[in-house]
Amino acid sequence: MKLAKNISFFTFFNLLNAAIPFLLLPVLTVYLSKADYGIIDIFNSLNMLFTPLVALSVVNSISRFYFEESIRLPVFVKTIFRATVKYGIIFVLLSILISGVLLFVIKTELAFPPVLLVISALFVFFSQISEVLLTLWRVSFKTVYYGIFRVSKTFIDVALSIYLVVSLGYGWIGRIGPQIFVMIIFGFVAIYYLKKIGYIGKKLEYDHTYLRRALSYSLPLIFHSIGGYVIAVSDRFFVLFIEGAESTGIYAVAYQIGMVIGLFQNSFNQAWVPFFFESLNKGSYKTKRKIVFITYLYGFGMILMILIISALTPLFYDYFIGREFRSGASIVFWVLLGYAFNGMYKMIVNYLFYLKKTKVVAKLTIGVALVNMILNYYLILENGILGAAQATAISFLLLFIIILIKVLKVYKMPWNLRVGE
């Protein structure tokens, strides 16, 4: 009942949070050019790529060490917060340096404005500050606080975007500007709230031992996250440089529709991970059987969602998407398939996170990411932007299979539900 309740709340708030910008999609495709939309998608892709780098992924350690009884949580959180700020500032300064080099040293015209690097670094820096608070709410099942924070931020962001894009005609700047402005504001809101509830402040000590333990867990996750994001977003860059900005815009619209399934699997995973870690700590056979049953049910749900959303895709393009973007409709199925495999992978990889085998996960993810880049290059040359979506689907399937094989070797579970203990 606890799991069902939290999945319901996470799904509701994540659906609401995603529905707001999703409803913005028909507006953007009418008022923005394909090139503008391509730049916006590159910005979003940079955000995904920078997320594990900005603060060395230390925020991710909160969700795992929260369940360690030996941890003094307020001290641990303060340690993580200080590390996030320190490493984040360093990364922002590096992004300014790199942007300056691109702007003044490289004379050829770039496919995107170099200032996007700085804007993206700032965006991710403040998002990681907010993530400290959001992670605490998530693992403690305070889903209402979590949902209100995220939905409020998104609503203000989208409202400002509509005004700047539709009323003032600012193009891609009118969409990206509100994102960074709102993220900074809510970053300071998170700082205020963390201080209010006693998780940051001068009275708490800074524990270097906690930081070393957190980094031991999180540093391999940088490579894991980069590998995962390469699989998820490198296709945009290949499309951009091989097919051009307009094709990137067409691809980005189709990708956003296909990622609806990603919304559901992400919502489930946010509620599942705390329940999963807590259940494995109990270690009972009955609890393990319950986990396996839910895993199988989840896989069936992914398949059902692919069929339903694929059937509705032509209707969505006919009634909501601008005509110049409709050539991307065939891409949606492959994106759906890829994110269904990605959802199944998330269910399985949590066993390795529980065992703190983040180095193993990182190596396997990086390996698949390299395969993904090769697939992107050859499939885009062969099939155009459709090949990019096919490369993503194949890569997520490969990652799921490799991780599954590894988990079967290192953690025993009653996968055959008909067999007794």
Q: Please state the separation of Cα 214 from the chain's center in Å.
A: 20
Write down the H helix ranges in 321-331: none
Question: pLDDT tens digits, residue range 361-415?
Answer: 999 999 999 999 999 999 999 998 899 999 999 999 999 999 999 999 999 999 8
**How remote is the C-alpha of 404 from its chain's centroid?**
21
Q: Which of 55-69, 339-353, 395-409 has the lowest mean pLDDT?
A: 55-69
Residue burial 220-235, b: 16+ Cβ < 10 Å; e: rest: bbbbbbbbbbbbbbbb
DSSP 205: P
Which of 29-33, 58-62, 79-83 has the least mean pLDDT? 29-33
Whether the predicted pLDDT of 421 surpasses 50: no
**Long-range pairs for 188-196: beta carbons < 8 A, 24 or more residues apart:** 189/130, 189/149, 190/129, 190/130, 190/132, 190/133, 190/134, 190/149, 191/129, 193/133, 194/77, 194/81, 194/132, 194/133
- The answer to whether 285 and 293 have CB atoms below 8 angstroms apart is no
- End-to-end Cα separation, the chain, in angstroms: 25
416 located within any domain: no
Say if 198 falls within a structural domain: yes
Instruction: Quote the pLDDT of residue 375.
Output: 95
Q: What percent of the chain has pLDDT over 90?
A: 30
Query: pLDDT per residue over 246-299, tens digit each?
Result: 787 788 888 888 888 887 888 788 778 888 888 888 778 888 898 999 999 999
Distances (CA, A) of 257 to 115, 254, 261, 300, 384: 28, 5, 9, 21, 19
Reported residue count of the chain is 421
Separation of alpha carbons 291 and 270, rounded Å = 15
Per the structure, the complete domain to which residue 27 belongs is given by 2-410
| pLDDT level of residue 19 (50, 70, 90 thresholds) | low
Which 3 state secondary structure label does DSSP give 65?
A: helix
Token pair belonging to 193? 């709230």
> Looking at the domain assignment, is residue 197 inside a domain?
yes
* Ranges 54-58, 303-307, 400-404: which has the least confidence: 54-58
The pLDDT assigned to 351 comes to 94
- Count of the separate structural domains present in the chain: 1
Cα separation, 145 vs 420, whole angstroms = 41
> How far is 134 from 337, CA to CA, in rounded Å?
29
DSSP, residue by residue, 90-132: HHHHHHHHHHHHHHHT--SPPSS-THHHHHHHHHHHHHHHHHH
Task: Write the pLDDT tens digit of every residue in 204-214.
Answer: 677 888 888 88
| Contact assessment for residue 48 and residue 293, using Cβ atoms and an 8 Å cutoff | no
Q: What is the pLDDT of residues 192-234, one digit of tens each?
A: 999 888 888 776 677 888 888 888 888 888 888 888 878 887 8
| Mean pLDDT, rounded, of the chain | 84
Specify burial of residue 253 (Cβ count, 10 A radius: 0-12, 13-18, 19+): buried
289, two tokens: 């059987």
Question: So what's the pLDDT on residue 2?
Answer: 63
pTM for the model: 0.74
CA dihedral sign, ordered 280, 282, 285, 291: negative
Please check whether residue 417 lies inside any domain of the structure: no
The answer, yes or no, to whether residue 103 has pLDDT greater than 90, is no
Q: Quick check: is 421 in a domain?
A: no
| 419 is a domain residue | no
- Residue 370 in any domain: the answer is yes
Q: How far is CA 261 from the centre of its chain?
A: 13
Does any domain span residue 25? Answer: yes
- Is the separation of the CB atoms in 103 and 27 below 8 Å? no
